[in-house]
Structure 1
Amino acid sequence: MTVRVLTCTAAEILAGKLSASDDGKGIVGQLSIPEYQRPYCWQEQQLMQLLTDIRAQKEQLSDLPYYLGSLILHQENGKLNIIDGQQRVTTLVLIASLQQGLNLALVNSLEYEHPTSLQQIKHNLKWLQSCFSENTAYWQSLMDFHKLQFTLVITQTEDDAYRFFETQNTGGVRLAGTDIIKAHHLRAVSSMYQKTFAKQWEGLGKLDDTVGALLKGRYWQKINMRELPSHQQKKKLRDTIVSELAEQTAKGTDIAFGRVYRQLGLAGEVRQHLDQQGYELRQPLNAGVNTIRYLSYFQSLYQHYWERPDLPGLPGYNAFIAWLKGLEGCGYLEGLYKACLLQYISQFGEKQLEAAAKKLFRVVYSRRVSNQKAVRENSIYAFVRETPVLDWVALSYTPEQCFKYFDSFTLTVDGSNLDSNSVKKRYMSKVCQFFELLLAVEDYEQCFAQALTRKVAGGL
């Protein structure tokens, strides 16, 4: 890894003149923001924190420079691409644009096209104007760009820049796992199409829930069972996303694996049919276009069948999903359910989807009534090891084969905490109401399990 470390002031960055701290040699290159970078997203909270820190430093140590962290740059073809630090640099450009008599070459050289960036720039500029107008002279003296310093970390390759970035804590709003894999895959796309796929990625919206479901589907399989980090272990979870959906992707073209069945006639003729047109959830991935389209496909499924289900031919499914999302105390179970649902739809499309959704519910949400009290996050992992529901879907060739696995599952109810207005009791009452279950007063829990099994497994 070839890395050069320099220091410079904010004034030099704004003027486009970057000088070295060791040998006095300048760095030739114009600061730019690559297409694959996330939008400018700093909000008032980050702006206020930056101004507060600078003001505190000015009041306590007026003659010393204030350190603004590192900028990680990739030097390429006369440009210095900002890999980490664009939030801070853009904010300084906005502040500098409100002051007079400054050499602002950088203001005219940076380009922002993403709607989120443009909207946030307008909002932040207005907010900063309102702050500075109250005491212009004070802010002019406070924001001395000659005393605001950065460390520049300059690499010759993008891969080196991102490796260095991953080992540093350079401040600002930290990249999430989905941001890092975005950069990884857009770098793998031909430069001719990079802008097109960058816009496609940004159009996907927030990917966190979809990626979470995909990780469960890819990790929780009997043949290679792996435990996912808790949602509270943010760094480990981010590293898992990067490892599974970036580092472990291969090089190659866009390939979509899918189920094909062949009908053989009496004369030996063959007719082939595809069950679906997209990607298999557990399929191997290649860097670049392949993974981008894979994520785009599953994001579309997630939005269409879970987030905003409005399927004209499946009113019963629409109503069931709307009801399911309103259940109390089932967040962790919902995460597993969404992974199973995406697995099913990616294999069988809308074939018997309402029946599949309800049969899946009976299996996955059984943990709500088989536990004594709360459903903890780590208990979901224990459940899929005992009940490989994702494998039941993945290994089935037809919905009917899949349903046999679902229907063979034995639903049991722990009778504790049913004598009060507990979460479990409220959950069971809502299930009874939705499925129109009439239960005997005696042996309530056993009656519940049998009635729901008859209704879902045998009554659809």
Structure 2
Amino acid sequence: MKKIFDTAIVNLESLNTYNFAIPTYQRPYVWGDEQIKKLLDDFYLSFKSSIDTEYYVSTILIKEKGELAELIDGQQRFTTLWIIAFVMSTLNSQSDIETFLKKDDKLRLGFEIRKEVSDYLENLIDNKNNKKKYDENIISEYPYLKNVTRAIAFVKAYIEQLKLTSGDLKGFGNFIYRNVKLIKNTTPENTDLNKLFSTINSAGIQLEQTDIVKANLLKFIDNKTVYSKIWEACENMNNFFERNVRVSFPETDKNNIDLTNMISFDRYALEQVHLVRSNYSSTLSRISFL
């Protein structure tokens, strides 16, 4: 029989040959203190029970493109593991988990539509003297950074309160690097990743129903990055639309935008909208909340 998915038990050490990309249809990092604490508690209890203990944390679902892996599912835990690696580096743990921060001088995690997050993480591990300063005002402009910065502070406080010796700190980092196991499921070629994403998340775990609709809509569009940013600018109802646009498109020269050009009628564009809506109607009918 033809194998559909390739499955393997991996750890961060065995994933060191990959760079990972967070695709456009994924949510931002949303984990809070409770989820992070449970993960760290489990890691530490396993580490203290035996340095040879294996702890199985989760599954990840990826699409491989050579040494680039598109992370279809599991990004919340995976991003948390990167944050733990970063905190270990700030504490000078000298553990091997610190090697997971970058691959070939490139950030291990890339975000297709959230350049501000990638820039922030890159800046964190930049050893140059001209590092960008991120104060509260800057972070407040980019809501997707808030949970990341909060997670970093929480992980650091958690590890510091353990009061580990330098040897135990290094051992704890190496334990997470080698003994924390993940189940890696790799999709076959020609898989519809948007459809797969919406299917595995149809229960709404960690996802809003709008994220599932978004994933299904994006599969009809070629320029997914731009339209995903437009979606998010419209989706956030806790802020003014104009401010959302400035966050989503920070490189746009706002002074040279002619707003009168945005109200012209485009019959071709309207026909394309009707075509997408027609093709998508069957999908919408299967989503219970609609």
Q: Normalising TM by the smaller chain, what interval? A: 0.5 to 0.7
Amino acid at match of 2:157: S
Which of the residues 83, 91, 98 maps onto 2:87?
98
- In 2, Cα distance between the equivalents of 1:200 and 1:117? 15
Find the counterpart in structure 2 of residue 183 from structure 1. Answer: 215
C-alpha spacing 1:160/1:255, structure 2 compared with 1 (3 Å): closer
Q: Once the two structures are superposed, what CA deviation does each residue of 1:72-98 show, in whole Å capped at 9, x if it has no partner?
A: 012247531101111111111111012
2:13 aligned residue = 11
Deviation (angstroms), 1:38: 0.9
TM-score by length of 1: 0.39
Aligned residue identity for 1:159 = D
Amino acid across the alignment from 1:110: L
Secondary structure of 1:37's counterpart equals coil
Alignment RMSD (CA, Å): 3.5
Distance 1:195 1:55, change over 3 A: same
Matched to 1:109, the amino acid is R
Q: Give yes or no for contact 1:70–1:153 (8 Å, CA) kept in 2.
A: yes
Alpha-carbon spacing, 1:184–1:157, altered in 2? closer, same or farther (3 Å): farther
| Aligned 1:56-67 pairs, distance under 5 A | 56-67=45-56
How far apart are residue 199 of structure 1 and its match?
Answer: 0.8
Determine the C-alpha separation between the residues in 2 that align with 1:164 and 1:34: 11
Partner in structure 1 of residue 178 of structure 2:
146
Letter in 1 for 2:61: I
Percentage of pairs with the same residue: 22
Match of 1:395 in 2: none
> What amino acid sits opposite 2:53 in the alignment?
L
Alignment of 1:117 with 2:107, yes or no, is no
CA contact (8 A) 1:254 1:286 kept: no
Structure 1 residues 173, 81: CA separation in 2 closer, same or farther (over 3 Å shift)?
A: same
Structure 2 counterpart SS, 1:120? helix
Please, which runs of 5 or more residues in structure 2 have no aligned partner? 117-141, 238-270
Aligned to 1:159: 192
2:41 to 40, 52, 64: 52
Corresponding residue for residue 253 of structure 1: 272
2:5 and 2:194 map into 1 onto residues whose CA distance is 8
Q: Take 1:87 and 1:50, find their aligned partners in 2: how far apart are those partners?
A: 11
Indicate conservation of the 8 Å contact 1:73/1:152, yes or no: yes
String of CA shifts for 1:210-248, please: whole Å, max 9, x gaps: xxxxxxxxxxxxxxxxxxxxxxxxxxxxxxxxxxxxxxx
Answer 1 or 2: higher relative contact order, Cα 8 Å, separation at least 6: 2
1:108 alignment partner in structure 2: 107
CA distance in 1, matches of 2:172, 2:30: 24
Task: Give the 5 Å matches for 1:329-340.
Answer: none
Contact 2:72–2:197, Cα closer than 8 Å, also in 1: no
Greater strand proportion: 2
Give, as a single letter, the amino acid of the residue that structure 1 aligns with 2:279.
N
How many residues are aligned here?
204
CA apart distance, 1:139: 4.9
Regions of 4+ moved over 6 Å: none
The CA distance in 1 between the partners of 2:109 and 2:24, in whole Å, is 12
Q: Deviations over 1:339-387 (max 9, x none)?
A: 9xxxxxxxxxxxxxxxxxxxxxxxxxxxxxxxxxxxxxxxxxxxxxxxx
Measured in 1, the distance between the counterparts of 2:171 and 2:157 equals: 17
TM-score of the aligned structures, taking structure 2 as reference length = 0.59
Contact 1:74 1:161 (C-alpha < 8 Å) held by counterparts = no
Alignment deviations for residues 76-126 of structure 1 (CA, whole Å, 9 cap, x no partner) = 475311011111111111110122433132571323426333221111111
Higher alpha-carbon Rg: 1
Question: Structure 2 counterpart of 1:286, which letter?
Answer: N
1:89 partnered with 2:94: no
